[in-house]
Structure 1
Amino acid sequence: MAVALASPPLPSPPSQVKFSISSRRCGCRCSSTLSQSDSISSPSSTSTTNRPAVILPGLGNNTNDYQKLALILKDYGVPTVIAKVSRIDWLRNAAGLLDANYWRGTLRPRPVLDWYFKRVEEAVDEAKELAQGSTLSLIGHSAGGWLARVYLQEFGLPDVSLLLTLGTPHLAPPKGVSGVIDQTRGLLDYVEKHCAKAVYTPELRYVCIAGRYIQGARLLGSSNDHHSAVVVEINQPVGEMTAADASAAASDTLRARFVGQGYKQVCGQADVWGDGVVPEMSAHLEGALNISLDGVYHSPVGSDDDTRPWYGSPAVVERWIHHLLN
């Protein structure tokens, strides 16, 4: 479960989205820019024979938060089922407080999160009825991404051919870093140690998408430490842009420091790029196809398709939808 941060007023995102695709499988990093002329299917041009997708909500989110994304995917010809989760359901995680492993920082996903896996199972069964013998795609947002990995490990699902994660904190927080407390109480440690490694093969593909919405800043330090906090390279149009530089207002400095403290709890560093909640470096996995999108915010809650697009906003979906299309 990712660190749950309130969404402070953040600078307007850049007007364009940059693709940065890294392949940790070969140890290199390459960046590519997709122009509007690149061949990407539009909703009106897609077939309805694509494999069904199951959306797995992130921590604190509910099913309704993803209804618009499901409609967008449907327009692309991707039948979609959203796991049925309410906000109050997440209070079930409090059962972990009764587990001694919680206090030792060695908590395991089961049985604490069995309620979530039951919802995943129900959604998968529904998607199988739509599949007509084809494979399935899992789309995990935020904590839903690593919960999908646990589900695949614990229950096995040979029908899944794609796991696409959106702003998922895949990596456990580093140990021994001053001021860092593992908010998952060992859950991500378990995922790293016990879940299958990411792969990108014809049979099963992991695609991990990270957002670069704002660069955090250290709590103590000069404003120059994050002079590029809200400046992003322009490549693809998404919405309006408010330019900012080293002379950013004090409020922007405070936002960057506040966001940076959230990043630090996830990856151990404050002055890194991320989507406002999850650092870019934590949202990628070795062995997966790793993609970074500039200007993309973490959550559907507090997002705006024009001024603060999230992973499921129409113009952003357009940049990753091809992974779901046959």
Structure 2
Amino acid sequence: MVHRPQRQQHPGLLQNCSNISVFERPALSIRWSATTPRHCRRLNTIAEAKAQRAVVILPGLGNNSNDYKAVGEALESRGLHVQCAAVTRPDWLRNAAGLRQIEYWTGTLEPRPTVDWYLNKVDDAVKAAKQATDGPITVLAHSAGGWLSRVYLLGYGTEQIDRLVTLGSPHQAPPKDLKLVDQTRGILTWVTDNVPGNFHKEVGYATVAGKWLKGAKLRGSGGSLAQKLVGLGYQQVCGDAEVWGDGITPVPAAHLAGAEQLTLEGVYHSPLGGGTDRPWYGSPEIIDQWIRVVYEKELDTKYQVEVGDMVAPQN
């Protein structure tokens, strides 16, 4: 009898590959073709992806990695490698560590070490992307992930990262002359002062804002109740209640000087509370409106992508 050696399986490969999610593997670079049947998806080797652009997704406040599944799939369908920082909803409770610092109560809190837990997760995702490909990396950040990404680039460097795209991120601290309370207890003020605008000139910045609802002053006869409520939030962020915004972030606060600025009509802030009648940045019909700024057209002939000049934010 002839004994045939058994084929050795990859040590980290599960028999049922279809159960592996791109959003549940922060330390691995497992990818598959979207056109391959689920029961026979195969792992791509790192060598096959060496020239590939990677996209690292940064979740927003209160969100977890799975909230960005549709975004990740849209990017992967265009041949991009996707990593998402492995953030869970309970993770955000770690920010409460700032309560132990006197700076929290005086409104002068700095991002580190309070948000180091988040930055470490971002770094894990960036390292995994670098292992998978030696191509350029786009950081795609939603909501608070936007200003957190600016802290990350300042502290961890920009090696291999050549693009930063933010979705509905509150980038600007409240105007100091209005004496408003910084809702981040000073962190956003620190970021505004220390990492202003397109701070890293080797990185291409693009900021995306949504016009879902225009705010209204709390006191006054104009505006609906919903407009008054969002206006109250807009007022605390940018000092003006009567501006457009995505329901959470007002348009004037969502853009950075020196960045390409896109303001999209009818876009809500978050997947939490979003739906078919309230599309958010990650809804399929909205993704196609901003995805061009994530990568360069040379990487994909099907989707013609050109990053344009800075435009003024719309009120």
Give TM-score, length-normalised by structure 2: 0.75
User: Which residue is 2:246 aligned to?
Assistant: 275
- The Cα offsets for residues 138-166 of structure 1, whole Å up to 9 and x where unpaired, read as 00100001100000001112211100000
Task: Give the whole-Å Cα distance in 1 for the aligned partners of 2:181 and 2:265.
Answer: 28
After TM superposition, give the deviation of residue 199 of structure 1 in Å: 6.0
| RMSD (Å) for aligned C-alpha atoms | 1.8
Q: Does 1:293 align with 2:255?
A: no
User: Which residue is 2:41 aligned to?
Assistant: none
SS at match of 1:70: helix
Task: Give the whole-Å Cα distance in 1 for the aligned partners of 2:261 and 2:199.
Answer: 11
After TM superposition, give the deviation of residue 50 of structure 1 in Å: 4.5
After TM superposition, give the deviation of residue 309 of structure 1 in Å: 1.0
After TM superposition, give the deviation of residue 181 of structure 1 in Å: 2.3
- The Cα offsets for residues 248-305 of structure 1, whole Å up to 9 and x where unpaired, read as xxxxx0011011111111111111100000000000011111110010110011112x
- Paired residue type of 1:168: S
Contact 2:262–2:290 (CA<8 Å) still a contact in 1?
no
Contact 1:217–1:271 (CA<8 Å) still a contact in 2?
yes
Structure 1 unaligned blocks of 5 or more: 1-42, 227-252
Higher relative contact order (CA 8 A, sep 6+): 1
Q: How does 1:171-250 map to 2 (within 5 A)?
A: 171-177=172-178, 180-195=180-195, 197-198=197-198, 203-223=202-222, 226=223
- Spell out structure 1 runs of 4+ moving beyond 4 A: none
Task: Give the whole-Å Cα distance in 2 for the aligned partners of 1:141 and 1:279.
Answer: 14
- The Cα offsets for residues 192-229 of structure 1, whole Å up to 9 and x where unpaired, read as 1112531696x420000000010010001122xx5xxx
User: Which residue is 2:122 aligned to?
Assistant: 120
User: Which residue is 1:150 aligned to?
Assistant: 151
Distance 1:113 1:199, change over 3 A: closer
Q: How does 1:88-127 map to 2 (within 5 A)?
A: 88-127=90-129
- The Cα offsets for residues 51-105 of structure 1, whole Å up to 9 and x where unpaired, read as 1100001111111111121112111222111101111111111110111111111
Distance 1:156 1:218, change over 3 A: same
- Paired residue type of 2:81: P
- Paired residue type of 1:75: S
Q: Does 1:64 align with 2:66?
A: yes
Largest Rg, 1 or 2: 2
Contact 1:78–1:324 (CA<8 Å) still a contact in 2?
no
- Paired residue type of 2:55: A
User: Which residue is 1:79 aligned to?
Assistant: 81
Structure 2 unaligned blocks of 5 or more: 1-33, 36-48, 300-315
Q: Sequence identity of aligned pairs in percent?
A: 48
Task: Give the whole-Å Cα distance in 2 for the aligned partners of 1:322 and 1:58.
Answer: 21
> Number of paired residues?
249
Task: Give the whole-Å Cα distance in 2 for the aligned partners of 1:69 and 1:311.
Answer: 9
- From 252, 274, 290, give the equivalent of 1:320: 290
Contact 2:52–2:136 (CA<8 Å) still a contact in 1?
no
- Paired residue type of 2:282: G
SS at match of 2:281: coil
